[in-house]
Amino acid sequence: MPTARLTQQVNSAFLPHPPDRIAVAVSGGGDSMALLHLLHGFCRLHGSRLFAVTVNHRIRPGSAREAKAVAAYCATLGVPHDILIWDGWDGTGNLQAEARDARYQRMSEWAKGRGIRTIAVGHTADDQAETVLMRLARRAGVDGLSSIPPRTSRHGIHWVRPLLAVTRADLREYLRGQQVSWAEDPSNNDLSYERIRFRRALAELSELGIDADGLATVAEQMRQARVALNWQSFLAARDMARVEKGAVALNERQLRIQPEEIRRRLLVHTLGWISGNPYPPRRAAVATLMAALRRGLASTVDGCHTLREKDTIWVFREHKAVQDMRVPPGLLWDSRWHVRPARDGVSTDGMYIGAMGPQGVEQCKDWRASGLPLPVVMSSPAVWQGDTLVATPLVRPDQNWHATLEGGEETFFAGLISH
């Protein structure tokens, strides 16, 4: 790929309004070194300040040496560079997944401390293709097969991937032309890692025409299909759903006549919005839930409870998931509720926020006036002092306490088209 096209990829990612400060994550490998070099030229031309960061996971010998080599190269460019250390792996779980999550977390904290809100990372068309193959093996649908997004937000930072249409071979050719060296990670030959096995498989499949460019194109087409499905789900939700005091009420008939994929998406999104779980429940669990709703049966999944009452399907927090949660007034309860006195200066000594539960229902004889089904009331936030119910702001809103959702009810609808 000509240098001009590589430069255009970077320009397209940041223009017409480049950030004042841009950070680039550099491991020392070919992809990130090429991105560093390209961004250095971009920032000089457009007046942005460039920073570089390397995370040393201390997982293998040589990582410290590679981080120092990146630092030395950044010094020749005049780019400020920092090395972050992560040695938090306890030997359990998926090493690559834990290292990735830790890397994003540490870099986010580092960037915020320097007033940086944008970090560029060197994902390529090959990464796209490998991800598609891995997800095919897991029987993924449209969402799983859609491309890695060119922009995401995570931990309060904008992550930009300018090189998603570029192959590793293109970047190494560019580096050789610029006389820039890079390090080869020996773990790239370690077949104990799933991604490396799929990388080898991709090399074999390329002889059949199934190559990185082709799979990246498929991933982009899946992304476009995902956007269309999300938009249709948003329109359907606007027509059939309402947020009732943190629960979601769906019109059963309108939901039933939707295509199955739209029904599934609406339910998965609703479950995630209520539970706060960043990962969707397994497809089999959602299929079981949908079958139960068709038969008019209640069900629980992902810390949420669903039930059908006349012409309404209610989706809400499962009481079991919150029955032991207790926080002082003013702190976030269940990661979604702010419960505070209506007036400043009110003493809250000895009080805490907890689930209404059966004990609260027993002390709140007029809970039916809320219009909510009993299981919804049971999992709603209440103010307690010992075993005494002080206030139930969602059930009796005339009291001197307020309960508000983090971000507001509109986040339910916005979330359908924001990912």
Domain containing 340: what range?
A: 322-405
Does residue 123 fall inside a structural domain? yes
Does residue 228 fall inside a structural domain? no
279-314 pLDDT, tens per residue? 889 989 999 999 999 999 999 999 999 999 999 999
Residue 364 near residue 395, CB atoms below 8 Å = yes
Is residue 169 located within the same domain as residue 312?
A: no
Distances in Å between the Cα of 351 and the Cα atoms of 25, 207, 277, 383, 396 are 46, 68, 28, 7, 18
Residue 242 corresponds to which tokens in the numbers above? Answer: 């309402």
Is residue 215 located within the same domain as residue 306?
A: no
Burial zone of 371 (CB within 10 Å; 0-12 exposed, 13-18 middle, 19+ buried): exposed
Does residue 240 fall inside a structural domain? no
Does residue 28 fall inside a structural domain? yes
CA angle (122 as vertex; 121, 126 as ends), nearest 5: 140
Name the helix (H) or strand (E) containing 330: none
pLDDT over 70 at 64, yes or no: yes
Residue type for position 90: D
Of 254, 282, 317, the one marking the end of a domain is: 317
Is residue 311 located within the same domain as residue 172?
A: no
Is residue 107 located within the same domain as residue 190?
A: yes
State the pTM of this model: 0.81
Of 268, 302, 317, the one marking the end of a domain is: 317
Is residue 287 located within the same domain as residue 373?
A: no
pLDDT over 60 at 95, yes or no: no
What is the secondary structure of 135-199 as a DSSP string?
A: HHHTT--HHHHSPPPSEEEETTEEEE-TTTTS-HHHHHHHHHHHT---PPPGGGG-TTSHHHHHH
What is the SS3 assignment for 343?
coil
Residue 244 corresponds to which tokens in the numbers above? Answer: 């009732």
Is residue 205 located within the same domain as residue 313?
A: no
CA angle (138 as vertex; 133, 142 as ends), nearest 5: 75
Does residue 67 fall inside a structural domain? yes
Rounded-to-integer distance, Cα 252 and Cα 240, Å: 8
Is residue 299 located within the same domain as residue 200?
A: no
- CB-side neighbour CA atoms (13 Å) of 381: 28
97-131 pLDDT, tens per residue? 677 788 899 999 999 999 999 999 999 999 999 99
Residue 296 corresponds to which tokens in the numbers above? Answer: 């008019």
Does residue 174 fall inside a structural domain? yes
Number of domains making up the chain = 3
Rounded-to-integer distance, Cα 223 and Cα 132, Å: 12
Rounded-to-integer distance, Cα 102 and Cα 89, Å: 9
Neighbours of 223 (CB within 10 A): 19
Is residue 154 located within the same domain as residue 287?
A: no
Is residue 40 located within the same domain as residue 137?
A: yes
Residue 55 near residue 98, CB atoms below 8 Å = no
Is residue 292 located within the same domain as residue 368?
A: no
pLDDT tier, 343 (very low <50, low <70, confident <90, very high otherwise): confident
Share of the chain above pLDDT 70, in %: 95
Does residue 268 fall inside a structural domain? yes
Cis peptide before 16 (omega within 30 of 0): yes
pLDDT, average across residues 336-364: 93
Does residue 230 fall inside a structural domain? no
Is residue 95 located within the same domain as residue 121?
A: yes
Is residue 273 located within the same domain as residue 373?
A: no
CA angle (412 as vertex; 410, 415 as ends), nearest 5: 105
Rounded-to-integer distance, Cα 141 and Cα 364, Å: 46
pLDDT tier, 26 (very low <50, low <70, confident <90, very high otherwise): very high
